[in-house]
Structure 1
Amino acid sequence: MNIDWAALASVFGVSLVVTVALVGLFTLGIIGLAKQASAVQSGGSLTLARTGAYACFGLCAAAVAYGIYLIVV
């Protein structure tokens, strides 16, 4: 049995980066939804805060769907 350690490290590194990015994007979406009231009070736009949060959630869903696509196909 021969293990290609470089390929294993590459897969680990990419998985780690994508996981951190996906969790960070989802966190930004949650923060965007949580800060809606303060955005309105400070004179910001409620629509902008909500749209940004939904965009973050949409990108997370797209990344998960792409991962499932890669596994299935």
Structure 2
Amino acid sequence: MKIDWAALGSVFGVSLVATVALVGLFTLGVIGLSKQEQAAAQGGSAALARTGAYACFALCLAAVAYGIYLIVA
């Protein structure tokens, strides 16, 4: 049995980048929702923060759905 270390390293690298990107997007979404609550408490408009948060969550959902599609297909 021979292990292709280059392919293993490539898969590890792509997995690491994808994981950090998804966690970062989700974190931005949570921060956007917290800013929305903060802006609403101060009497300001929070539509931009809410829209950005929902966009981050939608991108996370799309990335997870694409990963499931790749596994199933």
Task: Give 1:1-73 correspondences, 5 Å limit.
Answer: 1-40=1-40, 41=42, 43=44, 45-73=45-73
Q: List alignment gaps of at least 5 residues for structure 2.
A: none
For 2:52 and 2:10, locate their aligned partners in 1 and report how far apart those are by CA, in whole Å: 32
TM-score scaled by structure 1? 0.91
For 2:43 and 2:24, locate their aligned partners in 1 and report how far apart those are by CA, in whole Å: 25
Q: List alignment gaps of at least 5 residues for structure 1.
A: none
Amino-acid identity (%): 81
TM-score scaled by structure 2? 0.91
Deviation at 1:38, TM superposition (A): 2.8
